[in-house]
Amino acid sequence: MRPLDRLTSIKTKLGIVIVGAVVGTTLAIVLGVTAGLGWKGSALISAAVGLLFIQVLARGMTSPLREMASASREMATGDYGRRVTATSRDEVGELARAFNHMAAQLEEADRVRRDLVANVSHELRTPISALQAVLENLVDGVAPPDERTLRTMLIQVERLGRLVNQLLDLSKLESGVVPLQHRTFELGSLLRQAAHEARVNAEQTGARDIRIDVELEPADLRADGDPEGLHQVLSNLLDNAVRHSPEGGRVRLSARAARDRIELEVADEGPGISPGEEARVFERFYRSDAARSTSEGGTGLGLAIARWIVDLHGGEIRAERREPHGCRMVVELPGVAA
Ligand SMILES: Nc1ncnc2c1ncn2[C@@H]1O[C@H](COP(=O)(O)OP(=O)(O)OP(=O)(O)O)[C@@H](O)[C@H]1O
Ligand SMILES: [Mg+2]
């Protein structure tokens, strides 16, 4: 704590420093003259007293500014770890606190960027290494160029393509290059279309006769939003639901008007999301340990994309447990269109 840290205005602080210095020097001159030091000696002593006063009282008034200047120079070189002392309550203290907040935000953004680069490289390397291994075997004549080998390669190429597309989607959403096209539309046809596509995908990927049911309440429910974007949200949720469903499982895709909101829900009968992971599954590249240990499955971007789109609609998305087992993904959109 420095002498004037309690004061909330820099003007008051300067006033006190000036008044203090003037009183101190005047007293020093009067005392010097009465003690017979003469004008010259008294003036020298009073100057020293004045400087001392300013040194003591104004201590720390400008040091945060110097600290900020040096921290900014470090930031320019990519080091976001420095924070400045922010004990005073005046405008400089406020600036110091704002500076620290900005530094913390920049540090976090930098961490996210680094993680993203590391994750992307890792996710790209896995299918590329697998492809390379198969191609080497083909070139060396260790493996025949038969249908099975080619299919393995195709799966890896598809995985690469999907990853690149998802990354592009995410970066477009984040940078706002493609603004959402809001309009009022019938939810029924969107839900049925998404369910139909999910059924086709499930058949193609050999999912074990999974049923996808659509429920609407009321049947002519309409929503305000970007149909393309919401279609992608539902596709991503249905893709997960189908992938985690047991053989012969049932997936329910439903929409209902709830007070001033529209609630969309995708529920499955799979293992559900473990407690504590409900928020993390929406992070980019997050996959549960169970999903990580199996070779099938995606890259962990589906829910991150879904959350971006829902956020852009001013809505909310959350994962819930379904009793006795299963996962419920709930999307809440604001406003019920008449
Ligand atoms: N319906 C669900 N049941 C159980 N776990 C789920 C479900 N949906 C998502 N998860 C968990 O959340 C993780 C993240 O899901 P997300 O859709 O973001 O990625 P992904 O499905 O692994 O890959 P991608 O969708 O990018 O192909 C999944 O890996 C899985 O562990
Ligand atoms: Mg997914």
What tens digit of pLDDT does each residue of 263-308 get?
999 999 999 999 999 999 999 888 876 666 555 567 889 999 999 9
Task: Check residue 336 and give its pLDDT.
Answer: 66
Parallel, antiparallel or unpaired: strands 316-321 and 183-186: unpaired
> For residue 297, how far is its CA from the centre of ligand 2 (angstroms)?
8
Nearest-atom index, ligand 1, CA of 241:
1
Q: Do 231 and 288 belong to one domain?
A: yes
Q: Do 50 and 157 belong to one domain?
A: no
Domain boundary among 175, 206, 227: 175
Angle, in degrees to the nearest 10, between helices 147-175 and 302-312: 30
| DSSP label at residue 146 | -
Is residue 126 in some structural domain? yes
User: Which residues make Cβ contacts (< 8 Å) with residue 99, sequence separation at least 6?
Assistant: 68, 71, 84, 86
> For residue 281, how far is its CA from the centre of ligand 1 (angstroms)?
7
- List ligand 1's pocket residues with C-beta within 6 A: 166, 236, 240-241, 244, 268, 270-273, 281, 286-288, 291, 297-304, 327
Is residue 153 in some structural domain? yes
Domain boundary among 140, 156, 175: 175
Q: Do 201 and 299 belong to one domain?
A: yes
Is residue 3 in some structural domain? no
Quote the pTM value. 0.73
State the average pLDDT over residues 93-106. Answer: 94
Is residue 1 in some structural domain? no
Task: Assess contact for 259 and 184: CB atoms under 8 A.
Answer: no
Q: Look up the CATH number of the domain holding residue 235.
A: 3.30.565.10
Q: Do 194 and 326 belong to one domain?
A: yes
Which range of residues forms the domain containing residue 47? Answer: 10-104
Q: Would you call 299 exposed, middle or buried from its count of C-beta atoms within 10 A (0-12, 13-18, 19+)?
A: buried
> For residue 143, how far is its CA from the centre of ligand 1 (angstroms)?
34
State the average pLDDT over residues 245-271. Answer: 94
232-262 burial, b at 16+ Cβ within 10 Å, e below that, comes to: bbbbbbbbbbbbbbeeebebbbbbbbeeeeb
Q: Do 201 and 315 belong to one domain?
A: yes
Phi, psi of 277 (to 5 degrees): -100, -5
Nearest CA, atom 8, ligand 1: 240
Domain boundary among 52, 73, 104: 104
Average pLDDT, the chain: 89
Q: Do 93 and 121 belong to one domain?
A: no
Q: Do 97 and 120 belong to one domain?
A: no
- How far is Cα 269 from Cα 242, in angstroms, rounded to an integer? 9
Task: Assess contact for 129 and 101: CB atoms under 8 A.
Answer: no
Which residue has 């959109």 as its token pair? 333
- What does the radius of gyration of the chain's CA atoms come to, in whole angstroms? 33
Q: Do 308 and 191 belong to one domain?
A: yes
Q: Do 206 and 253 belong to one domain?
A: yes
The total number of structural domains in the chain stands at 3
Q: Do 242 and 324 belong to one domain?
A: yes
Q: Do 198 and 323 belong to one domain?
A: yes
**H-assigned helices in 58-90:** 63-76
> For residue 109, how far is its CA from the centre of ligand 1 (angstroms)?
24
- How far is Cα 42 from Cα 32, in angstroms, rounded to an integer? 5
Q: Do 194 and 260 belong to one domain?
A: yes
State the average pLDDT over residues 197-214. Answer: 89
Percent with pLDDT over 90 in the chain? 53
Q: Look up the CATH number of the domain holding residue 148.
A: 1.10.287.130
